Amino acid sequence: MSGWDEGAVYYSDQAQFPHGGGAGTDPEQAASRHTVLRKFKEFIRNFARQNEPNVFPYRESLIQNPKFLLVNLSDLLTYDKDQDLRDLLRKNPSDHLPLFETAAAEVNANLKSRVAGETGEMEEPQTGEVQILLKSDEDPVSMRSLGAQYISKLVKISGITIAASRTKAKATYVTLLCKNCKNVKVIPCRPGLGGAIVPRSCDHVAQMGETPCPIDPWIVVPDRSKYVDQQTLKLQENPEDVPTGELPRNMLLSVDRHLVQTIVPGTRLTIMGIYSIFQAAKSSTSHKGAVAVRQPYIRVVGIEETNEASRGPANFTTEEIEEFKKFASEGNVYENICSKIAPSIFGHENVKKAVACLLFGGSRKTLPDGVKLRGDINVLLLGDPSTAKSQFLKFVEKTAPVAVYTSGKGSSAAGLTASVIRDNSTAFLFFVSLRYLLEQREFYLEGGAMVLADGGVVCIDEFDKMRPEDRVAIHEAMEQQTISIAKAGITTVLNSRTSVLAAANPPSGRYDDLKTAQDNIDLQTTILSRFDLIFIVKDIRMYSQDKNIASHIIRVHASADSANDARDTKDDNWLKRYIQYCRTMSQPRLSDSAATLLQESYVRIRQDMRRQANETGESTAVPITVRQLEAIVRLSESLAKMRLSNVANDNHVQEAIRLFNNSTMDAAKSGINQHINLTPEMANEIKQAESQIKRRMGIGSHLSERRLIDDLTRMGLNESIVRRALIIMHQRDEVEYKRERRVILRKA
């Protein structure tokens, strides 16, 4: 667009006009700019690729969409090897990008004139504005490596968007009116986050009898100024690129015109832009004595989205695709994949199979009425400490194509979902009058862990340590896979299409078989129903198993060396690529016979749970609802996806039901119940224990559970009978546990 980028990046507010205009322009420089402008025009008109000599892609692109033109920098190098136009853009983009846009606008006007002449229209089309968008096949540089040497240069970086501002109107030309002589002056604005330099005096020469114009006579006329849309984004390093122990870096981005409102928080981007500097209002660097310090930002001139939906087979080599197809055609694909899941962990075969299903995921579906069904699988590991729960989470974090690891104790509702903040570092100033400026501080929407992991996995350790109100905040994200925000006047919906792998401990720290499932699984039914698989992981004290585990751990420690680390890294990278390929290329559906089998199995499971509830008089800790039916569907689809199959058959459904029975169903039936397996003698002993507890404790009194049990066992009562009596009294709401179940309060 002619005039948009007049001038280079300004390092201070010196009163000078941009290059390329005015009376002070060097004739040799003007001739050079004219030569570059002509070469840009020739490139747009005449560039053709070697395999398509008679096709002119940029000319055709302008005819189809005259608003913007996407240019690959490698094409510039191919077209002009003598005077490299690509190097001119790379070294001094602020000067040459407006020339490129001017050339595109003039070529577009000529093309319109030619079309008008062919159709017999005599009116000559007006010269429009064309935005040049750049792309490059080169690898992006690290955000951490951007330094002062890159200022005013073209850079390419990648990251994930964590915040997006509202759209603003940025002036490209400001119209000034002199209060005294009514003289009108139009001044250009600096590009990006720069403003306009307003002259202190009017250039009108006072005639005889006229009052001279005073200092600062100008009034801004907003209605007669020229504007374009502008938006600011905040780009953060990809989670997998952040070094251990380091905070993620972020960079402020400025987008304009056709790039505005195309990106939402959580989107992974690769951007090209001009590394620029600005001085934020009332920032820490704007105080007296630091006038030469500026903050960096990037003025974006090209955006490429790199979300999961855009990762197609083009990212995989032919050798990789052939290797993946050969691996998928083998008969023992399921076993081979499960053997690669956390090989350093001994046992837990069903947990490894569940983690494999979580990594591959089911199929996302959109119903005819627009309702979307999630395909991501959520898994909860609940049980004793030192049972490798956190190790599973760490393995998934490094194996999943996109993953975010967080701990429940250090995570809030806003940190997991999204937050609205007022950013002081990017306050902008705009004119109210010439002498008075008004500060406008933006409200930004920042995505949390579940937004940043869109298309991947969120690993939440210490899930039980989260506050209940924080767990409630992720209900919508786990099932509907969206996060609704209505804060500070910002109302929007963000995508959180992610799986959740959570690890938790029971309230007492260890899983107690003498307690009911409700007491061991101290989580709300609403959150439990959103997990497809729930595993009770116990530390079983058995001689043979302890010996095998000890032998395995000693062998792992003894054989650990750099060669094994390199081999494990290679296996993890291969598995990550295979998971990414399967998620991209396979979207399986249930076969008719598999659907019938699944329907019959679900009805039978519901009947069993209903019969158990009638026998015990209580509902289970883990509800079995339609969500669990959908969970088995997703598990079946993930098993088919591992084989690159588009159909989930009976075998896949049977394995999915087996996994479900060995996880969620076992969790629902875990613990003891006072109505089951009670002989008359045991029932009499429990009544005696209840009587002694009531005699020992008055209503409203507190007593340590350990002390109470010790006192009653000295009286001759069995410890397990005392514990059962306490459980029954707790269920009747006669006693209440306090201080992490260490203290008992008698209520009735």
Cross-strand partners of 365: 373
Q: What is the CATH number of the domain that holds 107?
A: 3.30.1640.10
Handedness of CA 149, 151, 154, 155 (dihedral sign): positive
353 vs 339: CA distance, rounded Å: 9
Cross-strand partners of 196: 189
DSSP string, 580-641: HHHHHH---EE-HHHHHHHHHHHHHHHHHHHHHHHHHSS--SS---HHHHHHHHHHHHHHHH
Q: What is the CATH number of the domain that holds 693?
A: 1.10.10
Among 285, 282, 274, which residue's Cα sits nearest to residue 133? Answer: 274
Low-confidence ranges of the chain (pLDDT < 50): 1-25, 122-127, 284-286, 309-314, 425-440, 672, 674-676
Structure tokens given for 510: 């260890």
Q: Measure the CA dihedral 196/199/205/210, to 10°.
A: 100
If you search the block for the tokens 């009425």, which residue do you land on? Answer: 369
Q: Which domain holds residue 322?
A: 314-402+497-669
**Which of residues 75, 103, 133 is at a domain's end?**
133
DSSP string, 468-493: HHHHHTTHHHHHT-EEEEEETTEEEE
In a domain, 457, yes or no: no
Q: What is the 3-state secondary structure (H, E, C) of 209-261?
A: CCCCCCCCCEEECHHHCEEEEEEEEEEECCHHHCCCCCCCCEEEEEEEHHHCC
In total, the chain counts a number of residues equal to 748
Question: Are 219 and 347 part of one and the same domain?
Answer: no
313 vs 321: CA distance, rounded Å: 8
With residues binned 3-state (H G I as helix, E B as strand, rest as coil), the percentages for the chain, rounded to 5, are 40, 20, 35
pLDDT at 467: 80
442 vs 570: CA distance, rounded Å: 45
pLDDT at 192: 80
Question: Are 196 and 324 part of one and the same domain?
Answer: no
37 vs 435: CA distance, rounded Å: 39
At 398, which amino acid appears? K
Q: What is the CATH number of the domain that holds 298?
A: 2.40.50.140
Cross-strand partners of 359: none
In a domain, 503, yes or no: yes
Contacts of 440 (CB under 8 A, 6+ apart): 427, 428, 429, 430
Cα-only R_g, the chain: 34
Question: Are 233 and 114 part of one and the same domain?
Answer: no
Question: Are 325 and 289 part of one and the same domain?
Answer: no
Structurally, the chain folds into a number of domains equal to 4
In a domain, 229, yes or no: yes
Cross-strand partners of 486: 491
**What's the start-to-end Cα distance of the chain, in Å?**
81
- CB atoms closer than 10 angstroms to residue 513: 10
Question: Are 290 and 160 part of one and the same domain?
Answer: yes
Structure tokens given for 322: 């052939």
583 vs 402: CA distance, rounded Å: 12
Handedness of CA 461, 462, 467, 468 (dihedral sign): positive
At 204, which amino acid appears? H
- Asked whether 501 and 396 are in contact (CB, 8 A), the reply is yes
At 449, which amino acid appears? A
746 vs 697: CA distance, rounded Å: 7
- Asked whether 349 and 388 are in contact (CB, 8 A), the reply is no
- CB atoms closer than 10 angstroms to residue 662: 17
Among 520, 573, 385, which residue's Cα sits nearest to residue 461? Answer: 385
If you search the block for the tokens 């107690």, which residue do you land on? Answer: 512
Question: Are 396 and 514 part of one and the same domain?
Answer: yes
pLDDT at 122: 44
Question: Are 31 and 170 part of one and the same domain?
Answer: no
- Asked whether 162 and 234 are in contact (CB, 8 A), the reply is yes
Structure tokens given for 309: 């939906």
Residue 163, CA distances (Å) to 177, 234, 268, 661 in order: 38, 5, 12, 42
745 vs 738: CA distance, rounded Å: 7
In a domain, 710, yes or no: yes
Residue 533, CA distances (Å) to 9, 136, 630, 653, 719 in order: 56, 44, 11, 15, 34
In a domain, 641, yes or no: yes
Q: What is the CATH number of the domain that holds 330?
A: 3.40.50.300
Structure tokens given for 607: 């009947």
The strands making up 743-746's β-sheet, listed across from edge to edge, are: 702-704, 743-746, 735-738
- Asked whether 619 and 613 are in contact (CB, 8 A), the reply is yes
631 vs 667: CA distance, rounded Å: 15
Question: Are 575 and 510 part of one and the same domain?
Answer: yes
Question: Are 648 and 690 part of one and the same domain?
Answer: no
In a domain, 448, yes or no: no
H/E stretch holding 72 reads: strand 68-72
What is residue 189's DSSP assignment?
A: B
H/E stretch holding 274 reads: strand 268-278
Cross-strand partners of 131: 68
405 vs 372: CA distance, rounded Å: 26
- Asked whether 141 and 77 are in contact (CB, 8 A), the reply is no
pLDDT at 391: 87
Structure tokens given for 502: 């959570």
**Which of residues 629, 649, 669 is at a domain's end?**
669
- CB atoms closer than 10 angstroms to residue 378: 23
- Asked whether 531 and 354 are in contact (CB, 8 A), the reply is no
Question: Are 510 and 641 part of one and the same domain?
Answer: yes
Which phi and psi angles does 366 have, rounded to 5°? -120, 120
545 vs 505: CA distance, rounded Å: 22
**Which of residues 133, 167, 188 is at a domain's end?**
133
pLDDT at 671: 56
Among 596, 586, 684, which residue's Cα sits nearest to residue 637? Answer: 586
pLDDT at 178: 86
Question: Are 385 and 511 part of one and the same domain?
Answer: yes
Helix (H, G, I), strand (E, B) or coil at 440: strand
Residue 410, CA distances (Å) to 402, 461, 625 in order: 21, 10, 32
H/E stretch holding 153 reads: none
Question: Are 559 and 509 part of one and the same domain?
Answer: yes
Structure tokens given for 527: 């959150």
What is residue 165's DSSP assignment?
A: P
H/E stretch holding 422 reads: strand 418-431
In a domain, 230, yes or no: yes
Handedness of CA 576, 578, 579, 581 (dihedral sign): positive
pLDDT at 18: 37
- Asked whether 6 and 189 are in contact (CB, 8 A), the reply is no
In a domain, 464, yes or no: no
